[in-house]
Amino acid sequence: MTIDATVTLIETEKELLEIVPLKQADDSEAIGKPISAGNGLDKIMRLNGPSYNFWIVRVNGAPVGYAVGKRDGERYKGEGVYVTPEQRGIGIGPLALQRQVDYAKAHGFIEFWSVVSGENRHSIKMLQKLGFKFEPSGQGYEVRLKLQEEILI
């Protein structure tokens, strides 16, 4: 099945504001109770700095997901991927994650890493399919994908 989705790096404040309802839904789902749009905006603005990147996922032009990543020295950290419940299970999450990995590789990072809860079966399956290596950590895993060889001097 072909997915008619686009994943683009957010470059404007207007685009960043498009993910506020998605962040609101993501956090509300995660904690099991609604959060305000203002709270969602506050969380995005706290992350909106020079070391962070946001991506927006659109299907037929409508925002249905987002991804967040952070430059971490020579490594790139995936901070999270969110897809609306109506769009899950059709490959949008892996598409967003792959876009982050491609970005990190193109920008010379040696490794892509993230943390995943041991209870997050869908993310674990997605990360395994993309070739990530898993190391137990706390209540889940630290996951790593080598992007380039480290140059030793």
Q: What is the pTM of this model?
A: 0.90
Within a domain: 105: yes
Neighbouring C-beta atoms of residue 27, cutoff 10 Å: 16
Which residue type sits at 48? N
- The answer to whether position 33 is within a domain reads yes
Going by their DSSP bridges, the two strands 75-83 and 111-117 should be labelled as: parallel
* Closest to 82 (Cα-Cα) out of 95, 99, 64: 64
Please check the confidence at residue 55 and state whether its pLDDT lies above 60: yes
Q: What is the pLDDT of residue 148?
A: 86
* Residue-level pLDDT at 104: 97
Find the CATH number of the domain harbouring 142.
3.40.630.30
Dig out the tokens for 94 from the structure: 């892996």
What pLDDT band is residue 2 in, cutting at 50, 70 and 90? low
Nearest CA-CA partner of 112 in 100, 123, 121: 100
Q: How far apart are CA 130 and CA 1, in angstroms?
A: 18
- Residue-range definition of the domain harbouring residue 66: 5-146
Inside any domain, residue 80: yes
Q: How many CB atoms lie within 10 A of CB 146?
A: 13
| Chain centroid to CA 13 | 18
Query: Residue 153 domain-assigned?
Result: no
Specify if 123 maps to a domain.
yes
Q: How many domains does the chain have?
A: 1
